[in-house]
Amino acid sequence: MPELPEVETTRKGIQPKVDQQTITAFVIRDGRLRWPVETHLQNTLPGLVVLSVQRRGKYILLNTQKGTLLIHLGMSGNLRVLPTDTEVQKHDHIDIEFANGYLLRLNDPRRFGSVLWHDVSLGPVENHKLLAKLAPEPLTDDFNGAYFYEKTRNRKVAIKTLVMNSHVVVGAGNIYANESLFMSRIHPQTQASLLTQKQCDLLVENIKSVLIAAIKQGGTTLKDFLSPDGKPGYFVQQLKVYGQAGQPCQTCSTPIERIMLNQRATYFCSQCQPFIKPKPPSAQKSR
Ligand SMILES: [Zn+2]
C-alpha cells in the first residue's frame, strides 16, 4: 500500500510536468473506484490550469481556479506522467491530459483509489470531509513531543497502535511505526500512557527521521515516473526490524521477533525494546 513517503515521492515526481499546465482532457475509462468518479469532470476540467500540486495526508491535491482534484492511490494505485500518445494498459482507469503533450495516468488494479472533486464554491479544500479531521502532518512543527505526550495520556492502547492512528498523526504507516519504535527502544505493545515525555520526544523525532529518509530514497527513483513501464518510485529502505523476523538485531544480535498487533505485522527486538508491564489495577488503587 502506498504510504506517505511514496505519495510525497509521487507528488514530487509528477509536479514538474503538471504544475501550471492547462488541462485539455479528462478521460474516464473505468470510473468505478472507491467512489464513482463524477462524469461531469470530463466537461468541467478542460481549460483549467493546475495552480499547484500539494499533498495532505495521503491525498494528492491538484488545485485549479474552479476547485481541487483529490487523488488517493488506495491499496494498489500509481500515478505516472507519460507522453499523451502512450498506449493504454490494463487497469489504466483515468487520464488527465495537458497542453504540454503529457498526461497524468492513474493505474489501479484493485480500484480502492479515488479521484474526487472539491468545488471552489464549497470553500477551501481543507474543509473537504476526508481532509477536515486529519491529524497534523508528521513533518510539520505541529507534530511535536509536547503534542504527542498529551495524546498518550490516559490511553491504554499499545503505543504502536496509537502511532498509526490517523487522528493522532497522519502517515506513520506500519513500516514507519515499527522502525521508529525500534530506534526509540520502545516495545510496540507498551501501553501508551506509560511513555515519559522524554520517550515521546524521542519517538516523534524518530518518526520524522524515518519518514524523511524514506522520502529521500524515493526521490532517487524519480526518473521512473517518466517511463511508460516504470514502477512508481517506491523506496527500498534499509529496514532494521520490519520484515526481519528471525534475523539478528543490528544492535545486539538477538533474533527479531514478529507478532500480530491490531492485525498488523509487528517486529521488535525484545532485548533493545524491553516490555514494561502496566501496574495491575489493584496495585494502583492501593497507592
Ligand atoms: Zn537488539
Going from the Cα of 245 to the center of ligand 1, the distance in angstroms, rounded, reads: 12
Distance of CA 38 to the CA centre of its chain: 24
- Give start and end residues of each alpha helix (H) in the chain: 4-18, 41-44, 129-132, 145-152, 159-163, 174-183, 197-219, 281-285
The verdict on 122 and 197 lying in the same domain is no
**Is 138 inside a domain boundary?**
no
CATH code of the domain in which 121 resides: 3.20.190.10
d(CA 97, CA 27): 8
Domain count, the chain: 2
* Residues at Cβ < 5 Å from ligand 1 ion: 249, 251-252, 254, 269, 271-272
Q: For 28-77, what is each residue's pLDDT tens digit?
A: 999 999 999 999 999 999 999 999 999 999 999 999 999 999 999 988 88
The verdict on 278 and 150 lying in the same domain is yes
Q: Which distant-in-sequence residues (6+ apart) come within 8 Å of 66 by Cβ?
A: 44, 48, 119, 120
- Whole-number pLDDT of residue 75: 84
Beta carbons of 236 and 217 less than 8 angstroms apart:
yes
The verdict on 172 and 94 lying in the same domain is no
Main-chain dihedrals φ then ψ at residue 227, nearest 5 degrees:
-110, 130
87 given a catalytic annotation = no
**Is 48 inside a domain boundary?**
yes
Considering the candidates 12, 111, 185, 264, report the single residue annotated as catalytic. Answer: 264
- Whole-number pLDDT of residue 216: 79
- Whole-number pLDDT of residue 234: 42
Query: What is the tally of helices (H) and strands (E) in the chain?
Result: 8, 10
**Is 27 inside a domain boundary?**
yes
Going from the Cα of 154 to the center of ligand 1, the distance in angstroms, rounded, reads: 29
- Whole-number pLDDT of residue 225: 44
- Whole-number pLDDT of residue 239: 84
The verdict on 214 and 278 lying in the same domain is yes
- How do the pLDDT tens digits run along the chain, 287 residues long? 778 888 898 898 899 999 999 999 999 999 999 999 999 999 999 999 999 999 999 999 999 999 999 999 988 888 999 999 999 999 999 999 999 999 999 999 999 999 999 999 999 999 999 999 899 999 999 999 999 999 999 999 999 999 999 899 998 888 899 999 999 999 999 999 999 999 999 999 999 999 998 887 765 443 344 433 344 434 444 789 988 999 999 999 999 999 999 999 999 999 999 998 887 776 555 44
Considering the candidates 17, 56, 58, 160, report the single residue annotated as catalytic. Answer: 58
Considering the candidates 3, 6, 97, 179, report the single residue annotated as catalytic. Answer: 3
- Whole-number pLDDT of residue 246: 97
281 given a catalytic annotation = no
The verdict on 58 and 30 lying in the same domain is yes
- Whole-number pLDDT of residue 277: 85
Going from the Cα of 178 to the center of ligand 1, the distance in angstroms, rounded, reads: 13
The verdict on 123 and 166 lying in the same domain is no
The verdict on 11 and 102 lying in the same domain is yes
CATH code of the domain in which 278 resides: 1.10.8.50
The verdict on 185 and 262 lying in the same domain is yes
**Is 137 inside a domain boundary?**
no
The verdict on 170 and 229 lying in the same domain is yes
58 given a catalytic annotation = yes
The verdict on 105 and 155 lying in the same domain is no
**Is 188 inside a domain boundary?**
yes
Going from the Cα of 258 to the center of ligand 1, the distance in angstroms, rounded, reads: 13
The boundaries of the domain holding residue 194 are 145-285
Main-chain dihedrals φ then ψ at residue 189, nearest 5 degrees:
-90, 0
Going from the Cα of 241 to the center of ligand 1, the distance in angstroms, rounded, reads: 10
- Whole-number pLDDT of residue 238: 72
Going from the Cα of 275 to the center of ligand 1, the distance in angstroms, rounded, reads: 13
Going from the Cα of 3 to the center of ligand 1, the distance in angstroms, rounded, reads: 26
264 given a catalytic annotation = yes
- Whole-number pLDDT of residue 196: 97
The verdict on 94 and 167 lying in the same domain is no
